[in-house]
Amino acid sequence: MSCSNMTMLVSSKPSLPDASNLSFRSALNPFQLPSQNSSCSSTPSRPFSIQCGLRELRTRIDSVKNTQKITEAMKLVAAAKVRRAQEAVVNGRPFSQTLVEVLYSINEQLQTEDIDAPLTKLRPVKKVALVVCTGDRGLCGGFNNAILKKAEARIAELKNLGVDYTIISVGKKGNTYFTRRPYIPVDRFLEGGTLPTAKDAQTIADDVFSLFVSEEVDKVELLYTKFVSLVKSDPIIHTLLPLSPKGEICDINGNCVDAAEDELFRLTTKEGKLTVERDAIRSKTIDFSPILQFEQDPVQILDALLPLYLNSQILRALQESLASELAARMSAMSSACDNAVELKKNLSRVYNRERQAKITGEILEIVAGADALV
């Protein structure tokens, strides 16, 4: 028996075409032989056109099923990892907030003294170091593209101001991006890990500390993606050096960008399938007494605490960036799963229609043969 060809028009969104867009050649001529070009082909004048038979449709349906399984597994893996990343941020927040209180209290007592703290020293800005934090992998939507666009915009702004700049790239995606653009000066390439640690943050902190203290750069800015919620993350810039006297994380305009709340995610089952739920929490710290007595010189304590807080700032930025990347990947894989389900349903419907048309053509052949014998 002959195998009919099917023509289906597919737009950018997977949707089933109406009956006018489907033509079954076997219904018009039941004795038509199959065409030589039965593989998928595209028509330039249409958005996207494919021509394939039943075997090709079965292959595509199986391929979509396998892709759906992969994307669903990647979604669940990203959901589990984003919870661990957020737990790391929340667990480190009490230490960071307590350190802020200590720095603030020391700074209050040193307001009337003339101290020489190199990390808080302001000087005219002639050169800026930009620490750009990107991801190591793709398949996370526009996560890497957003932070790289933010970096490009900041570079253009510095050029307009006549200020020199250099880049410290963190992450494989950023390293690849800046390597392909030799006109952008890069001081150092660093690779991020699967889970940021204090050792990774200390490597970056030592580099920016040496650049700032040696006066090679007069300001250090940190560009990373701040985690807001499961479906939202904002690329931000905050001044890393010189450090704020109060120890707060501030943007380039001096506004505090510390988060007041966090969101934790947990995996649960709903209607027999794994799903993700989120809970908003507020971290709590013990009230810190404003009255302090220091056994050592406050200047020595300040010199010891400022590098420690510099490390904690960088570590927190790396953790926020990782949580944003995993949330973006989870969202992208969730959309891919939904698209795979819709595409599989449409392909199955078209497959059933063509199979029915083929059966109808075979019946017409039998009836035409019986009529010819009469």
Active-site positions read 133
Terminal CA-CA length for the chain: 22
Secondary structure (DSSP) of 264-318:
EEEEEEETTEEEEEEEEE----PPPPS----SS-HHHHHHHHHHHHHHHHHHHHH
At residue 9, φ and ψ (nearest 5 deg) are -95, 130
Query: How many of the other CB atoms lie within 10 Å of CB of 34?
Result: 14
Are 287 and 94 spatial neighbours (Cβ–Cβ below 8 Å)? Answer: no
Nearest to 79 by CA among 323, 320, 341, 340: 323
Residue 1 in tokens: 């028996």
Report the DSSP beta bridge partners of residue 129: 166, 220
Residue 89 in tokens: 């941020």
Instruction: Report the distance separating Cα 371 and Cα 366, nearest Å.
Output: 9
Instruction: Report the distance separating Cα 374 and Cα 253, nearest Å.
Output: 93
Report the DSSP beta bridge partners of residue 275: 268
At residue 118, φ and ψ (nearest 5 deg) are -65, -30
Instruction: Report the distance separating Cα 264 and Cα 155, nearest Å.
Output: 34
